[in-house]
Structure 1
């Protein structure tokens, strides 16, 4: 009995056909009809799968954004930065899983202004998701909102920095570089520990050392700091 190879999903076939034609003919010279023909389907099938020619290029951000929101929604105040890191990793892994397709998209969006603008809009969507989540855990004042905005921008910038290095073939260890980048981000925005206890300020004094020490000891004893 001959086993049949499972037929690949139409969207996958259309994406592969589109990127092949974009490489051969250029984006502007490639038509929807040509993509459909190369994929072995009709024009109507193309538009059932993708609303426009642009849509065949970009991944399903809706699904990925939902997963990012879900991960961030699981955070507590103590696990917020872990949730932010893991949510950003979800985005990175999606691109890494695409492999050569992601690299082809990068070359394309780097050379076609209209596609580059759409890529920028997608980045803004992710930044908005992180900003909304972070604002929920920030004080309701201007300083808290600014901190959330800055942290969201830093997370997306760190992710994109590592992703671009991988897309350009500058690193074979994108996940390790991502961990280092996010460590830097967390260090920049980690809450500073509250300064408790007693502060001792030493000034010049005309008293002798024994008298000064006795006065300092008495002051510390009064606040329960030492005996």
Structure 2
């Protein structure tokens, strides 16, 4: 038998979809779920909380996945942590689509959704900044990567929510989107075996033999005596 919490969620989403969010009262939800008003407020603080019932649990799962990363697997952890969020929405099915319609039309729900996204973004930003060494000059790169992760996830999710792709295609597109994100921002310059280098090509009349030692020094391969 479904728990009171699950019955309340199912009743609320059904009523919000049938009547609209503003037109549905807490009493309506409780009655549809077969519980009392007191039970509703024992489980949820407000109607808005019913729309985003799993946010805290999902955010904790994202943080837990990131916490298992090493320097060598950080970019993989970012991808897999973001995938947890996508898979959660895909598993919700019609409930996710109802939420999408509601957040497009109800300003308070839209604001709540934006606040939730900001929490995910902050989680990724803090993780990446720490991974990059927490230096002042890495703050921007961490911000860019976190924004890119959220943008890539939301782009794919919206296509699924609008019935433009099915769940299988969403997972495939997510892989491609995150590959782009990682290729742009997801490699730490000082990772073992890697060095960041900038090559500037200038015209010169000096013989190549005279230039090679300096070029090799810049590239990190000095000539041996």
TM tier, smaller = 0.7 to 0.9
Structure 1's 24 and 91: CA in aligned 2 closer, same or farther, altered over 3 A? same
Q: TM-score, normalised by structure 1?
A: 0.84
In structure 2, the residue matched to 1:32 is 26
Residue of 166, 178, 187 corresponding to 1:182: 178
Aligned-residue offset at 1:140: 3.6
Aligned-residue offset at 1:98: 0.5
CA distance in structure 2 between the partners assigned to 1:159 and 1:221 by the alignment? 42
* Cα distance per residue 1:160-214 (max 9 Å; x no partner): 1111111111111111110000000011113465367x99976347xxxxxx577
Structure 1's 121 and 195: CA in aligned 2 closer, same or farther, altered over 3 A? closer
Q: TM-score, normalised by structure 2?
A: 0.84
In structure 2, the residue matched to 1:141 is 135
In structure 1, the residue matched to 2:110 is 116
In structure 2, the residue matched to 1:96 is 90
In structure 2, the residue matched to 1:9 is 3
Local SS of the residue matching 1:147: helix
In structure 2, the residue matched to 1:194 is 195
Alpha carbons 1:155, 1:182 under 8 Å: kept: yes
Residue 224 (1) aligns with residue 199 (2) = no
* Cα distance per residue 1:47-102 (max 9 Å; x no partner): 12211111111132111111111111111111110000000001111111101100
Structure 1's 194 and 26: CA in aligned 2 closer, same or farther, altered over 3 A? same
Residue of 64, 71, 75 corresponding to 1:70: 64
Structure 1's 123 and 220: CA in aligned 2 closer, same or farther, altered over 3 A? closer
Residue 160 (1) aligns with residue 154 (2) = yes
Consecutive unaligned residues in structure 2, runs of 5 or more: none
CA distance in structure 2 between the partners assigned to 1:217 and 1:24 by the alignment? 74
Alpha carbons 1:14, 1:35 under 8 Å: kept: yes
In structure 2, the residue matched to 1:3 is none
CA distance in structure 2 between the partners assigned to 1:111 and 1:200 by the alignment? 54
CA distance in structure 2 between the partners assigned to 1:169 and 1:137 by the alignment? 37
Alpha carbons 2:66, 2:127 under 8 Å: kept: yes
> Alpha carbon RMSD of aligned pairs, Å?
2.8
Q: How does 1:80-91 map to 2 (within 5 A)?
A: 80-91=74-85
Aligned-residue offset at 1:218: 9.1
User: Is the deviation greater in 14-23 or in 166-175?
Assistant: 14-23
CA distance in structure 2 between the partners assigned to 1:219 and 1:83 by the alignment? 39
Aligned-residue offset at 1:159: 0.6
